[in-house]
Amino acid sequence: MPNHEQVLVSFEVGTGTGTVTDNLTPHDINCSETGGDPETGTCTADYSAGSTVVLTATPDGGSTFAGWTGACAGTGTCSVMMTSAQSVTANFVPPAPYWNGSVPQFYDDPDSPPQPNSAIGTNCSEPMTINGVPQTYSCQFEYNITTFYSPAEGVDPGIGGSTKAFNDVVIAYPPTSEGSGTVVTPPPTAAAPAISGTCVMGCASTSSTITFAVNTGGTFLVRAVGYPPSAIVESGTLPAGLSFNPLTGILGGTPTSGVNGNFPISFTATNAIGSATLNFLLTVGQLSFSPSEIDFGDTFPGIPVLRLLKITNAGSSMVKFTGFNIATIPGDDSSGFEALELCPPTLDAGSSCTAILVFTGDSNLTATHAANFDITDSAPGSPQIIPMSANVIDPVASLSALILNFGNQTAGTTTAAKAVTLKNVGKTPLILSGLSISGEFAFVNTATACTGSTILAVGDSCTISVSFEPTSKGPMIGDVTINDNALLGTQIVVLTGNGD
């Protein structure tokens, strides 16, 4: 028997607020959940084998404790005998919806025709109406009788009813102008789950396939909607290097060498109303790519930008290439992308080759520039798809002067400021990332001064004001350096002066 065993505490995702603690002082487990957010605190602890751990669930924020699942059941404390690793789930239920601050109202259902301005209805699932206008509350009660009640009267006459007998009466907190507090949103309507999945990075997916590459990290996200919140379970054998986290819905990792092939898997989301399942064929290709996607970053019209793609056969058999193509993406500007592949017709196991990818931006500065580099081959998962993207910008920095000469100045004194205007005469925003000065010169702050983080829209400008502060005699030289996102990336204003 091992010396220690572990307890893992989790929460029903998307539920209420509460804390789980153990019976030790200080607590080894002190695990909290707020409003269904991922748990915080210490939710896993090791205990001596054979010992008994007592867990206590404490609801907070108006929530109630609905009970344990896993190693315990019921709504009391959870006693766990540490003969093996244990896992328990605490279920906290959020408070029932209410209209915070509303004044309670009484409604009656008398046996008489409705009167003008009385709210009427026959179905509690539909809004009541006043003169045909739907209201924000529902039920079959016709009259607000709050102000009719008198303890001295009989049961029915004293509450405004027309039939001298017991009538249906309800007390409610309708959302009227009488409410003075914050409206609390009621929970969604109960619904069976719907489930979906999408590749976040380092993989590719369709409605029925997921593709990873050997030795390339990737993330696939599974989401479920519906109420109550669903638990997601993965079924099927995953290749080494990939794992599924049911709390986050993330299938991710880096498939290891030698695991290329096809793996049928499924994801099932289940709540109290029903369940839904997604089936996928997970393919791990024996080709790995570095990087797994190509981002050309900020580019300028007419100027080519190159990126290298390394293709490695991480499998144990030869791969035969049959095609390298640029594929357009509907809705995006896919022009300007080119490829030069330097790979042989076949790639032996353990070998690599290189493709040169090129993007040349055009004058379309508002479009999303994206395309795919598709590689067709004999490896599992073919065609492999390498996403490519680029951002085309065209800011142009214009300076009103490239030199500021301060002439002669007595040492130990300061000149009046001289200014240079920086203007964006390009077609996209000019973004400054740095502004510095050197020599015996100093910036002078003004209302329109440029800073190291100024963003100039097209046609906008700012000023750079400088003074000369010689500390000794002789000629002085310095400069103002401006770092920005224009083509050259750096603008310089030369500063000169002479100390007397």
* DSSP annotation string for 120-180: B-S-TTS--EETTEE-S---S--EE-TTT--TTS-TTGGGT-SSSS---EEEE---STT--
pLDDT computed for residue 3 by the predictor: 58
Q: What is the third-level CATH fold of 193-285?
A: Immunoglobulin-like (2.60.40)
Boundaries of every domain in the chain: 4-93, 98-184, 193-285, 288-392, 397-499
Rounded to an integer, what is the distance from CA 338 to the centroid of its chain? 32
Q: What is the largest CA-CA distance in the chain?
A: 111
Q: Which residues pair with 235 in a beta bridge?
A: 266
Residue 284 CA to residue 204 CA, distance in Å, equals: 11
Cβ within 8 Å of residue 53, ≥6 positions away: 7, 22, 23, 29, 47, 79, 80, 82, 86
Neighbours of 468 (CB within 10 A): 27
In this structure, what is the dihedral angle of CA atoms 297, 300, 305, 307, given to the nearest 10 degrees?
10
Tell which residue, 81, 72, 108, has the closest CA to residue 1: 81
* Contact between 93 and 15 (Cβ < 8 Å): yes
Query: Which tokens hold the place of 168?
Result: 């249906």
Tell which residue, 494, 304, 468, 481, has the closest CA to residue 397: 481
Sheet holding 169-172, edge to edge: 143-144, 105-108, 169-172
Tell which residue, 302, 314, 305, 202, has the closest CA to residue 256: 314
Query: Which tokens hold the place of 341?
Result: 């592949």
Q: Do domains 193-285 and 397-499 have the same CATH topology?
A: yes
Q: Which residue has the tokens 């090129």?
A: 358
Q: Which residue has the tokens 């206008």?
A: 133
Tell me the three state secondary structure of residue 463. Answer: strand
pLDDT tens digits for the chain (500 residues)?
Answer: 345 566 555 555 445 788 999 988 888 888 888 766 667 788 888 888 788 889 999 988 777 787 887 788 888 899 888 877 787 888 877 665 444 444 555 555 554 555 566 666 655 566 767 777 887 665 555 455 554 444 444 444 444 433 333 445 555 544 443 334 444 445 567 789 999 999 888 788 888 999 888 878 888 999 998 888 888 999 999 999 999 988 888 898 888 877 778 899 999 999 888 999 999 999 888 888 888 889 999 999 999 999 999 999 888 889 999 999 999 999 889 999 999 999 999 999 889 999 999 999 998 888 889 999 999 999 887 888 899 999 999 999 999 999 999 999 999 999 999 999 999 999 999 999 999 999 999 999 999 999 999 999 999 999 999 999 999 999 999 999 999 999 999 999 999 999 99
* CATH of 397-499 given 2.40.110.10, 3.40.50.11060, 2.60.40.10, 3.40.50.970: 2.60.40.10
Rounded to 5°, the CA angle 151-157-161 comes to 120
pTM flag (> 0.85): no
pLDDT computed for residue 13 by the predictor: 42
Cα dist. 178→11, 102, 318, 336, 458 in Å? 38, 6, 77, 63, 52
Residue 390 CA to residue 221 CA, distance in Å, equals: 25
pLDDT computed for residue 385 by the predictor: 87
DSSP state, residue 3: S
* Contact between 78 and 88 (Cβ < 8 Å): yes
Helices (H) and strands (E) in the chain, counts: 0, 41
CATH of segment(s) 288-392: 2.60.40.10
* Contact between 239 and 255 (Cβ < 8 Å): yes
DSSP state, residue 433: E
Residue 279 CA to residue 276 CA, distance in Å, equals: 10
Query: Which tokens hold the place of 367?
Result: 């479009």
Q: Exposed e or buried b for every residue in 288-321, given b needs 16+ CB within 10 A?
A: bbeebebebeebbbeeebebebebbbbbeeebeb
Sheet holding 275-285, edge to edge: 204-205, 209-213, 275-285, 261-270, 231-235
Residue 82 CA to residue 53 CA, distance in Å, equals: 7
257-262 long-range Cβ contacts below 8 angstroms, 24+ apart:
257/214, 257/215, 257/314, 257/315, 258/214, 258/315, 258/316, 259/214, 259/284, 260/214, 260/284, 260/285, 260/286, 260/314, 260/315, 260/379, 260/380, 261/380, 262/380
* Contact between 5 and 86 (Cβ < 8 Å): yes
Residue 249 CA to residue 403 CA, distance in Å, equals: 59
The phi, psi pair for 63, rounded to 5°, reads -75, 165
